[in-house]
Amino acid sequence: MKRITIDPITRLEGHGRIEIFLDDAGAVQNCYFQIPELRGFEKFCEGRPAEEVPQIVSRICGV
Amino acid sequence: MSKLKLASYWAAACGGCDVAILDINEKIVDVANVADIVFWPIAVDFKYSDVEAYADGYIDVCLFHGAIRNSEGEHIAKLLRQKSKVMVAFGSCAVAGGIPGLANFKRREDIFERVYIESNSTQNPERVFPQTKFAVPEGELELPEFYKDVKCLADVVDVDYFMPGCPPTADQIWAVVQVIASGALPPKGAFVGCSNKTMCDECKRVKTEKKVKKFYRPYEIMIDSEKCLLEQGLTCMGPVTRAGCGNQCTSANLPCRGCYGPVDGVIDQGAKYISALASIVDADTPEEADRIISQIVDPAGTFYRYGLPGSLLRRAK
Ligand code: SF4
Ligand code: SF4
């Protein structure tokens, strides 16, 4: 089985990787999309004053 | 002169630094005249394997954005360090941890629980969490290890220059690009694209005597757009923040949150701010001082908004 790795995915915000597995005939057997990055805004925004949150979450994506 | 070879990368970042580079607008054409881009995921399709194939030192300048959140960030930082003559920690995240560094107030287990179990859009009754290695029928998949702590770029590689800001302003980026292209590099370890004055030094607001009897949240008062925000009882971090942004927040009636970090010689911006506050609180007794200070909501998350991993504290217990 042949494996093609596309790493990183480019020209978008964030991190991504694609793993493609080909069978012996060269047909796609299976394909996995992976997101290797996590920052955890869901958690670290907890405890921050509500009026501060817009400036914090604008850093989820700056694009 | 041969063209400079330029790389730009993001680890735990938002892409705002990349967009700030693009914000130099038509000058990007001038950059293209002096530099060839050899790696820049947001804009150009090079892969990690391309970078691995470069000779050591092939890249002249690497602008590295983002904090080091996981093993991939550290691995790519080390790869780019090996391939680059000059490594710039670009933006608050790379310099001091930035907004992703707020995660150092939380524990890794609690972040995973919140994101992968509790978040409203998630159904995960089998409690599946990311694995660094995972067997699938066709082979094995890998994910980076999510570190216990967020780190700064300089925690994992040798850094030549630091360019703070969330993000650095386009004007400053252009000025730094010109300096780099001219070859007149500043001394190693220098902070570039900023000043060594404080935000207050450059702030146009009217300053009188700083004496604060009560701290407010912005919605509790009508903010006077001419007067110093701190004197109005808002926790503006101007006194302990490096100038360079052009007073962006204070010009918009928002208190500075310190994204340019402290000036040279100050190791801990938050601690410095606490001592600055201690000198302006207008109290007759220690009890009154305590009462006034306790009006500040989320002091740690505010005073270390952009720099917890780079501070003396590094993380909450
Ligand atoms: S504390 Fe803030 S508002 Fe006051 S002078 Fe300094 S930067 Fe300006
Ligand atoms: S005012 Fe403060 S927080 Fe706002 S951009 Fe400038 S340095 Fe950053």
Q: Is the ipTM of this complex over 0.85?
A: yes
Q: Which residue has the higher pLDDT, B303 or A14?
A: B303
Report d(CA B138, CA A32) in Å as an integer: 10
C-beta of residue B195 within 8 angstroms of C-beta of residue B202: yes
Residues 6+ away with beta carbon under 8 Å from B188: B160, B161
Residue B153 lies in a domain: yes
Point out the ligand 1 atom lying closest to the alpha carbon of residue B236.
2
* Residue B147, both tokens: 């570190």
* B30 found inside a domain: yes
Q: Please indicate, yes or no, whether residues B219 and B282 belong to a single structural domain of this protein.
A: yes
Cα of B195 vs centre of ligand 2, distance in Å, is 13
B142 and B155 co-located in one domain? no
Determine the distance separating the centroid of ligand 2 and the alpha carbon of B165, expressed in angstroms: 7
Return the structure tokens found at B153. Answer: 């770029």
Whether B192 is in a domain gets the answer no
Question: Could you tell me if residue B223 is inside a domain?
Answer: yes
Are residues B263 and B291 both part of a single domain? yes
For residue range B4-57, what is the model confidence (pLDDT) as tens digits? 999 999 999 999 999 999 888 888 888 888 889 999 999 999 999 999 999 999
Domain that holds residue B38: 4-99+148-182
Residues B138 and B217 in one domain: no
CA dist B87 and B77 (Å) reads 9
Q: Are residues B213 and B136 in the same domain?
A: no
Residue-wise pLDDT for A3-52, tens only, equals 999 999 999 888 999 999 999 999 999 999 999 999 999 999 999 999 99
pLDDT at B1: 58
Q: Are B115 and A42 in contact (CB under 8 A)?
A: yes
pTM of structure: 0.95
User: What does the DSSP 8-state code read for residue B116?
Assistant: I
Render B37-61 in DSSP notation, one character per residue.
Answer: EEE-TTTS---HHHHHHSPTT-EEE
Which residue in B60, B58, B94, B98 sits closest to B74, CA to CA?
B94
Kindly report which listed range (A4-13, B30-39, B212-221, B229-238) carries the lowest average pLDDT score: B30-39
CB pairs under 8 A between A and B: 130
Same domain, B131 and B258: no
